[in-house]
Amino acid sequence: MDLPVWQALYQELGAKGFIPIAVAFDSGGNEAARPWIDAAKPAYPCLIDRRHIVAELYDMVNVPTAVWIDERGKIVRPGEPAGVTDAFRKMDRTNFSIPPDALAELQAKRGAYLNALRDWAANGAQSKYSLSETEVRRRMRTPNDDHVRAAANFRLGEHLIESGHPKCAQKYFEVARKLRPESWNFKRQAWALEEPMKAGGPEFWAAVDSLGAGRYYPEVEDI
């Protein structure tokens, strides 16, 4: 979901203690992300995670992903797609229009997700969307060796790009993508660093098409 959606929800629920914190996973840093934040004029905190530290800590492999954290600092819902669907895959890539049925599906999912947040803001731990510690642990994914190696290779690629060695960086980005193919963050950022137009261009759509019947965004279990 985009920044204006979160701004509207913050204006609605802020008095109940609800505070969204947006994090831009962008290796381009302030130069790449700040213009979008400034244009939205959000009244809530917006961070720029150039090194993808938040993504690693909360196992976020795509955007938008949300984690619900209560007033005690405890996770009550681990990372999950924030009110989005695969509707964009039905998009007309010449004019970027989405068919009415796919758009209705997306709007329904967004509405359900926002209503779940409203319920949590109103009812806290008593909300049916606030998960038990056992269920949170069940849903959380902990890093394995491949995930750690993927992150290390990606960071080395970033360093080589920044040091003026883009050709050398490519092989490390490729290793990161192979070790963790489910990370669309790695894919998008590698494309953007190698050549900015790739991030939303043919390479991206070819990767999406290669999913076949597989999903881009996983289903959320109970929203």
Instruction: Give residue-wise pLDDT tens across range 90-101.
Output: 999 999 999 999
List the structure tokens of 166.
């883009």
Kindly report, residue by residue over 172-190, the tens digit of the pLDDT: 999 999 999 999 999 988 8
User: Quick one: DSSP state of residue 47?
Assistant: E
Q: Map out the domains of the chain as residue ranges.
A: 3-139, 145-209
Nearest to 63 by CA among 147, 165, 185, 176: 185
pLDDT at 218: 93
Q: How confident is the model at residue 196 (pLDDT cuts 50, 70, 90)?
A: low
CATH, domain range 3-139: 3.40.30
Q: Which residues pair with 22 in a beta bridge?
A: 46
* pLDDT 10s digits, 132-168: 999 999 999 889 999 999 999 999 999 999 999 989 9
What's the pLDDT at 70? 97
Cβ–Cβ < 8 Å for 194, 169 = yes
Instruction: Give residue 199's pLDDT.
Output: 61
Of all residues in the chain, the percent with pLDDT exceeding 70 is 96
Checking if the pLDDT of 1 tops 90, the result is: no
Question: Following DSSP, what letter does each residue of 77-142 receive, concatenated?
Answer: EEEEE-S--GGGGG--TTT----HHHHHHHHHHHHHHHHHHHHHHHHGGGSTTS--HHHHHHH---
Q: Is the pLDDT of residue 3 over 90?
A: no
- Does residue 143 have a cis bond before it (omega within 30 degrees)? no
What is the pLDDT, as a whole number, of residue 200? Answer: 66
Mean pLDDT of the chain: 92
